[in-house]
Amino acid sequence: MESNGTQFKSGLKDGIPIGLGYLAVSFTFGIMASGAGLNTWQAVVMSFTNLTSAGQFAALGIIQAGAPFAEMAVAQLIINLRYCLMSCSLSQKLKAGLPFFHRFLISYGVTDEIFGVSVCRPGMLSPFYSYGLMCVAVPGWTLGTLLGAISGDLLPARLLSALNVALYGMFLAVVIPPAKGNRILTCVILVSMVLSWLFTRIPALNHISSGFKIIILTILIAGAAAILFPLKEEQADEP
């Protein structure tokens, strides 16, 4: 069995691509946070304590809209609920007698990418391997935010506007590959786009705040897809 130090070094090595990817994406978040009125350290603390790109980007819109804290809390709960499922899955790879403080620290670093790397690692998951991943991924996400927030105060408005396009490029890079081979997922994405557009056009709906729009659409679309197109057990178990 590998020692704790070896596990930690393996985590550092496997976490390098994650950290570099986070650096690029969080740079855009830092720019947008600056544009939303957050100062540099508010943006950095937000990234360091959350580690959730979708939740953080959605939070900026809610902050700009001046929505109440309750709306922010519900929106974050819905958007980040997937991390509960990921944590449950990872818990099956941990030793039964692992102390609570290890489980607690590992849970802080559960993100889509860290989960993907961790769940594919053969054998039981060592907490020190997870710490290695986090020691690269978390600084990458936080440092990128810092650089983006600083750039938001220094770069010209036209250049910042151009850099904001990177956010949409990231979303396309996440959505398009899995949608290519899955007609159901493609339909769900298209329905999401149409309903989001209708929410901006229908008079009775366009007054709903951005936070509650996210909550309503997420529950309606994801719930309908789960009921109409449930995954078979063997599909759900695939990585």
Q: What is the pLDDT of the chain when averaged over all its residues? A: 82
- Same domain assignment for residues 108 and 189: no
- Same domain assignment for residues 143 and 215: no
Domain boundary among 107, 128, 163: 163
Interhelix angle 100-108/82-91, nearest 10 degrees: 140
- Same domain assignment for residues 82 and 148: yes
What 3-state class would DSSP assign to 59? helix
What 3-state class would DSSP assign to 229? coil
**Number of residues that this document lists for the chain:** 239
Q: How many domains does the chain have?
A: 2
Q: For residue range 104-136, what is the model confidence (pLDDT) as tens digits?
A: 999 999 988 888 888 878 888 899 999 999 999
d(CA 38, CA 229): 41
Q: How confident is the model at residue 168 (pLDDT cuts 50, 70, 90)?
A: low
> Pick the residue with more confidence: 10 or 167?
10
C-beta separation of 149 from 44 below 8 A: yes
List Cα–Cα distances, 39 to 63, 151, 157, in angstroms: 13, 12, 17
Q: Could you tell me if residue 169 is inside a domain?
A: no
Q: Could you tell me if residue 134 is inside a domain?
A: yes
d(CA 163, CA 29): 10
- Same domain assignment for residues 187 and 125: no
Q: Which domain holds residue 85?
A: 4-163
- Same domain assignment for residues 88 and 121: yes
Q: Could you tell me if residue 175 is inside a domain?
A: no
The whole-number average pLDDT for the span 140-144 is 94
- Residue by residue, DSSP assigns 83-141 as HHHHHHHHHTTS-TT--HHHHHHHHHT--HHHHHHHHHSSSSPPHHHHHHHHHHHHHHH
Q: What torsion do the CA atoms of 131, 132, 135, 138 make, to the nearest 10 degrees? A: -80
Q: Could you tell me if residue 129 is inside a domain?
A: yes
For residue 222, which amino acid is it? A
C-beta separation of 199 from 208 below 8 A: yes
Domain boundary among 163, 198, 216: 163
Q: Give the distance, in angstroms, between the CA of residue 212 and the centroid of all CA atoms in the same chain.
A: 19
Q: For residue range 188-217, what is the model confidence (pLDDT) as tens digits?
A: 888 888 888 888 888 877 777 665 777 787
pTM above 0.75, yes or no: no
- What are the backbone angles phi and psi of residue 166, rounded to the nearest 5°? -60, -30
